[in-house]
């Protein structure tokens, strides 16, 4: 049976690599998910039949407990909560890595192991594991809005964070060189957990997609380091794949926001700021009904639909698909403008629209859709806010200045479906709502889109 273990490691590693490759494109993404699942099943079987397993009692208890928690999360959690679920999953995984590292440390807390490679690997994986655990819990709290989504900052924060980071690294190095200092180990763990909290609280809600990708990278690197400490090649490969892909994704998200990686991590982005345009009271907001929107959409030659997190919250993607089909049947050219950081996790809008069977070829990226918007008859914004905020382009004092946006305000006519005039997740006012060519459709996105689609399906007598 032990001959199966190396075979399982090779097969699982190959499936993980294929999974990442296939998931890089929507047309092969389902195949990629299945390959990843198959690879994980093979990896688990390989671990269970290993000669190192001396008893299955605790393993079975742990597997039952994990399944009891994981299955309801998978079946009952709505798509809108996937970012939170991802964050809390990172927390669980990172905590597991940290606890395994702690158990291995106490096994190696003897003078003969001092300065050895295993201890250095253990200190590195525990540092990343424990800080990722608490950082992921904070990210979960911000995404779930059970704690403030805006950046939480205090005087001297960067200095405090730097000192705690240095102290944690110094303690880890000291324990690696002299593992018999077991009294210092709880302090090392506590500092790593504290640093995870301090790392994420100054990051605002608008940066949560990047934070999730980065935490994914940290968890992967921690797992890879644990593989080195345990001599497990499969953990090394899987963790390295996870760490590298997560970090690359985080860099892609930073590029999408036209911001440096350091600025995301230490800039306090997402804090509420006053609008340079002045107070809201002297600006006019124009509202419209579903009937008026339907009439204008029907008589348009081209429509660009811009989805955002509000569409996800309302679970309006299927109604959006119905609207797309109704407009297409009337000869309207309909495209979807997808911002890379729309929603609260990378690819959030793509996943929702694919679920509703919107053709992938109708989804257009930011750089390709912006040149078309000045010639677009109607831009229909469904729950998007920060990703269409012209302050990023026009206001150098804005907290999101320089972030690439979908330039919806340059369309000939703009409709915005929104519950209220409240600011978006970044806590920043959006001047597009007060433009002369903008009309607000206040209400639940699912109900409003459904009402527009119903009007279109009912006839309406429009012409092109």
Own/partner pairs for 213-216, CB < 8 Å, 24+ apart?
213/246, 213/247, 213/249, 213/250, 213/253, 213/346, 214/246, 214/247, 214/250, 214/265, 215/87, 215/90, 215/94, 215/132, 215/135, 215/136, 215/139, 215/246, 216/86, 216/90, 216/242, 216/245, 216/246, 216/249
Q: DSSP secondary structure string, 78-132?
A: -GGGHHHHHHHHHHHHHHHHHHHHHHHHHHT-SGGGTT-HHHHHHHHHHHHHHHH
Q: DSSP secondary structure string, 139-186?
A: HHHHHHTSS--S----TTHHHHHHHHHHHHHHHHHHHHH-TT-GGGHH
Contact 378, 323 (CB under 8 A): no
β-pair partners for 337: 364
Residues in the chain: 464
Task: Write the Ramachandran bin of 393: left for phi over 0, alpha for psi from -120 to 50, otherwise beta.
Answer: alpha
In degrees and rounded to multiples of 5, residue 307 shows phi and psi of -85, 155
* Residue 386 among the catalytic residues: yes
Alpha-carbon gap, residue 405 to 102, rounded angstroms = 45
β-pair partners for 381: 306, 416
Catalytic position from the list 386, 395, 409, 444: 386
- Positions marked active-site: 386
């Amino acid at each position: 049976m032990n001959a199966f273990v190396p075979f399982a490691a090779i097969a699982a590693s190959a499936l993980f690599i294929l999974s990442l490759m296939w998931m890089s494109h929507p047309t092969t993404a389902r195949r990629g998910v299945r390959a990843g699942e198959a690879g994980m099943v093979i990896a688990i079987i390989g671990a269970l039949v290993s000669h190192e397993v001396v008893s299955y009692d605790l393993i079975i208890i742990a597997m039952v407990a994990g399944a009891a928690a994981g299955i309801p999360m998978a079946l009952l959690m709505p798509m809108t909560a996937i970012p939170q679920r991802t964050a809390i999953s990172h927390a669980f995984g990172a905590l597991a890595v940290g606890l395994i590292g702690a158990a291995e440390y106490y096994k190696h807390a003897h003078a003969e192991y001092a300065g050895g490679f295993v201890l250095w690997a253990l200190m590195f994986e525990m540092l990343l594991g424990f800080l990722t655990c608490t950082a992921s819990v904070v990210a979960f709290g911000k995404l779930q809005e059970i704690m403030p989504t805006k950046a939480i900052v205090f005087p001297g924060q960067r200095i405090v964070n730097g000192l705690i980071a240095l102290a944690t690294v110094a303690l880890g190095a000291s324990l690696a060189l002299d593992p018999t200092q077991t009294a210092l180990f709880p302090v090392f763990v506590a500092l790593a957990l504290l640093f995870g909290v301090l790392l994420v609280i100054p990051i605002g809600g608008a940066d949560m997609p990047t934070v999730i990708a980065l935490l994914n990278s940290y968890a992967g690197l921690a797992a890879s380091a644990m593989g080195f400490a345990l001599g497990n090649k499969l953990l090394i490969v899987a963790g390295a794949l996870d760490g590298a892909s997560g970090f690359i994704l985080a860099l892609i998200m930073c590029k999408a926001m036209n911001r440096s990686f350091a600025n995301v991590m230490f800039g306090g982005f997402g804090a509420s700021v006053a609008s340079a345009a002045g107070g809201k009271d002297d600006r006019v907001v124009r509202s419209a009904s579903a009937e008026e929107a339907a009439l204008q959409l029907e008589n348009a030659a081209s429509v660009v639909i811009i989805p955002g997190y509000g569409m996800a919250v309302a679970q309006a993607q299927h109604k959006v698909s119905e609207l797309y089909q109704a407009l297409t049947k009337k000869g309207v050219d309909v495209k979807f403008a997808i911002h890379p950081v729309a929603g609260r996790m990378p690819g959030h809008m793509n996943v929702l629209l694919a679920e509703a069977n919107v053709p992938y070829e109708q989804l257009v990226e930011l750089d390709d859709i912006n040149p078309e918007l000045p010639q677009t008859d109607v831009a229909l914004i469904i729950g998007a806010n920060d990703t269409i905020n012209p302050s990023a382009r026009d206001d150098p004092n804005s907290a999101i200045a320089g972030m690439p946006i979908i330039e919806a305000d340059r369309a000939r006519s703009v409709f915005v479906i929104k519950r209220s005039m409240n600011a978006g997740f970044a806590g920043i006012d959006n001047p597009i709502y007060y433009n002369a060519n903008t009309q607000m459709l206040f209400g639940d996105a699912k109900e409003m889109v459904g009402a527009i689609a119903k009007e279109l399906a009912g006839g309406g007598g429009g012409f092109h």
